[in-house]
Structure 1
Amino acid sequence: MSNIVQLLERMGQEANLQDKDKLEQAIQAAELEHSLKETLLNKDKLTLERQLDICPDIVAFLFPAEDEQPQKEEDEEQKEEIRSVING
């Protein structure tokens, strides 16, 4: 597994690997399983994700906390409700 990670890191760092021929040479020279080499050569992202057993999509949600109202305001609101019920 570390060999593929090292190769992917190298592919991202070295600009000369943007050339198709040099990229193919780097992939063929790497000590990887044949299936991984074929996947990289075919630029098959989905198969590579499956072979490496990774989850590419991570979703996170943040919900802002609701502001707490001071206790005095709640008491006054309750008193207003009681007044409205009593006064009709």
Structure 2
Amino acid sequence: MSNVIQLLERLGEDANLSDHTLENLKQQMQDLELSEVTQKAILEGDANALETLMNLSPIVCGIIIEDDEDSPDENEDEPQQPSQAVAV
């Protein structure tokens, strides 16, 4: 898994790497000893396949904001307390 991340980091950090030929990219993947299935997923840009191959689950985040009906009017000088939010 770290080899996949290492390659993706290299591609993201070095603008010149993204301009390399397909053969150069294939050679880099072979040098990192990536499996054929992983190489195919990278070449096809298949993020879902990479997540599956790397046993990753998508990150899901939800925010619930409490609707406070008793909140003071906006024109009042009293400081308003922030609404409570929960992130999961």
* TM bucket, shorter chain: 0.5 to 0.7
Matched with 2:75 is none
**Cα distance between partner residues in 1 of 2:12 and 2:29:** 13
TM-score normalized with structure 2 length: 0.59
The equivalent of 2:34 in structure 1 is 32
Identity %: 33
Count of aligned pairs? 69
Deviation at 1:39, TM superposition (A): 1.2
Determine if contact 1:27/1:40 at 8 Å carries over to the other structure. no
Q: Which is strand-richer, 1 or 2?
A: 2
Q: What residue in structure 2 maps to residue 63 of structure 1? A: 65
Structure 1 runs of 4+ with >4 Å offset = none
Instruction: Name structure 1 gaps, 5 residues minimum.
Output: 70-88
**Uncovered stretches (5+) of structure 2, i.e. residues with no partner:** 72-88
Q: Which has the higher contact order (CA 8 A, sep 6+)?
A: 2
TM-score (norm 1): 0.59
